Amino acid sequence: MMRIYTRTKRSASAGFTLIEMIGVMIVISILFAAAVPSVVNLIRTQRSVDERVELPKIAAALKLGMLREQVFPIYENDASVSTDGNDAYWWNLAARHGGGSANEVRYPLGIRPGSEVTRKLYFAKDSWSNQSFFEVTGDGISWLADPLDPEELRLLLVSTTNPDLSLPDSLSNTEFDVFWNNWAVGSDGNPASESEEDWSDYGLNEAEWKGRAAELNVQRIDLRDWLCTVVIENRRAIKAEPLMTLNELALPEPSATLTSVPNNVTHTGFWDRGTVALSSANLQDAEFIIQARDTTEDLNRDNNLDTGEDANGNNVLDRGEDLNGNSTPDYFLDETINNVDYNRNGVIDTVLYSEDLDLDGFFDHPAQIYTYVDAVMHTQRGRRIDVTQDATVTISGRRSFDSQPEQSITATLALTNRAPLALLFAPSTDSPLTLSGWGNADDPIQNRYFLKSQELLLGEPWTFAEVGIFTITENFSTLRFDGLQWHY
């Protein structure tokens, strides 16, 4: 007999048994426990890579902000400080100039705002914190230890995306330099350098950081390309005072000296009519005029020999009929005795005649006419050709009444102080800063060092009026006052 067996079908609603489920969960837990560290490390590694890409962008925004606002940010790395506490914090400065929001600038990628893990900005010269360019550079001298190697103009932006690792709030100068010069990651996950610095040389905790140098991101911010050398040449100028009258000057009586007389009025007295000439030496572009008039010796025509009116020194007013100059109206004058044409008629008269031609007891005959120079006027300023030599002006001519008829008088022209220079103020200050070191005895050519985008206010040395602004845009430039005007 044949037996027929039938297979019982499993119910469609049947599931895993409890034992099966527990087994599956155990397997999943084991796999998850093995995979999580790898996944976490992968995420952190990717964040660190992305952070390295982000830091240069933040550094560029910070650099732009400093240049535009001409200020160094506040040196602040304390995580407990509020992000929006001060507009001068470095992260706010970078945020204003394209770095993103303040939180995006301050906190590393993947770090929640408010965390103790922040990016850190370190200064090579921390005393410049919150200082304007104006306050830092000042006169342009003595603010750098070595202008040829301005190491102060460096910043470091340092971060980590690992919340388990900490960064110091400040670095010593030595730690800063080690970071700047030597930071590199070795194959063993420690700093790689020839001198094999210890972690402490970087201001880092070795217990935390050993083998994890790859998780530290360092961005160098070099501002040394902002240093500008300005060669300033500041020559002294020739004085040229406003026109003044003799009364205003209260000058002494006419004399043949110019030593105590200002540039604009040179009092030179009597000269033979039409013989006066003027010249200058060691001057370019200067102009002078002679202020003169024709006169007899009796300037005020009071019939008295006043002080300074006796041009030929004969103690007589040569304005009338005293032909022989003995201050007496002689009634019998013989021209043949001394062979002198006393009456100036062109011949030696052999007859005696009276000097008092109209017999009124006065010397009425027209006197000799002189050129009387009241002043030499300096009408246009000029520059000295050779700045090591004096500039002079000379008046020359003839004085027939003197023992040495051909004469000249030379005056050394006075000089102004040097042209004024000032550093234009930053928005936080009230006035420009006058640059010192430009006294008359100082070197007229000097090197000064400023930061790019700063401005110098230029003045002229006569009234100290402002004449222009020099904006520093080149790493090397010249600024020159040649004794007449500024050139730049």
Q: Does the residue 4 lie in any domain?
A: no
| Of 279, 261, 239, nearest in space to 380 by CA | 239
Residues 407 and 422 in one domain: no
Residues 154 and 245 in one domain: no
Residues 205 and 266 in one domain: no
Q: Are 486 and 172 in contact (CB under 8 A)?
A: no
Residues 162 and 253 in one domain: no
Q: What is the pLDDT of residue 405?
A: 82
Q: What is the pLDDT of residue 253?
A: 33
Q: Are 131 and 73 in contact (CB under 8 A)?
A: no
The domain boundary residue, chosen from 192, 222, 252: 222
The model's pTM is 0.73
Residues 25 and 129 in one domain: yes
Residues 48 and 173 in one domain: yes
Report, in angstroms and rounded to the nearest whole number, the Rg of the chain calculated over CA atoms: 47
Q: What is the DSSP letter of 182?
A: H
Residues 51 and 155 in one domain: yes
Residues 404 and 451 in one domain: no
Q: Does the residue 379 lie in any domain?
A: yes
Report the C-alpha gap between 229 and 226 in whole angstroms.
10
Residues 57 and 119 in one domain: yes
Structural domain of 480: 230-236+417-487
Residues 63 and 129 in one domain: yes
Residue at 287: amino acid letter: E
Q: What is the pLDDT of residue 260?
A: 35
Q: Does the residue 1 lie in any domain?
A: no
8 burial via Cβ count (<10 Å: 0-12, 13-18, 19+): exposed
Which sign does the torsion angle of CA 351, 353, 357, 363 carry?
positive
| Of 436, 441, 485, nearest in space to 462 by CA | 485
Q: What is the pLDDT of residue 379?
A: 81
E strand intervals along 161-264 = 217-222, 227-234
Listing DSSP states for 261-306 in one string gives S-TT----EEEETT--EEEEESEES-EEEEEEEEE-S-TT-SSS--
Q: Catalogue the long-range contacts made by 240-244 (C-beta closer than 8 Å, 24 or more residues apart).
A: 240/264, 240/378, 240/379, 240/380, 240/381, 240/462, 241/378, 243/377
Residues 175 and 90 in one domain: yes
Low-confidence ranges of the chain (pLDDT < 70): 1-16, 31-47, 193-197, 240-268, 298-335, 338, 340-345, 349, 351-368, 426-430
Q: Does the residue 294 lie in any domain?
A: yes
Residue 57's alpha-carbon distances to 97, 123, 312, in angstroms, are 11, 18, 89
- Residue 478, token pair as written in the block: 């010249």
The domain boundary residue, chosen from 188, 222, 256: 222
Q: What is the pLDDT of residue 330?
A: 58
Q: Does the residue 332 lie in any domain?
A: no
Residues 145 and 258 in one domain: no
Report the C-alpha gap between 297 and 375 in whole angstroms.
17
* 3 state SS of 397: strand
Q: Are 256 and 404 in contact (CB under 8 A)?
A: no
The H helix count followed by the E strand count for the chain is 8, 19
Residue 329's alpha-carbon distances to 110, 271, 407, in angstroms, are 120, 26, 32
- List b or e across 108-122, with b for residues whose CB sees 16 or more CB atoms inside 10 angstroms: bbbbeeeeebbbbbb
Mode of pairing for the β-strands spanning 476-481 and 227-234: parallel
Q: Does the residue 87 lie in any domain?
A: yes
The domain boundary residue, chosen from 358, 387, 414: 414
Q: Does the residue 338 lie in any domain?
A: no
The CB density around residue 379, as the number of other CB atoms within 10 Å, is: 12
Q: What is the DSSP letter of 84?
A: T
**Domain total for the chain?**
3
Q: Does the residue 354 lie in any domain?
A: no
Residue 289's alpha-carbon distances to 264, 292, 406, 412, in angstroms, are 10, 9, 21, 16
Q: What is the pLDDT of residue 250?
A: 30
| Of 67, 97, 60, 64, nearest in space to 454 by CA | 67
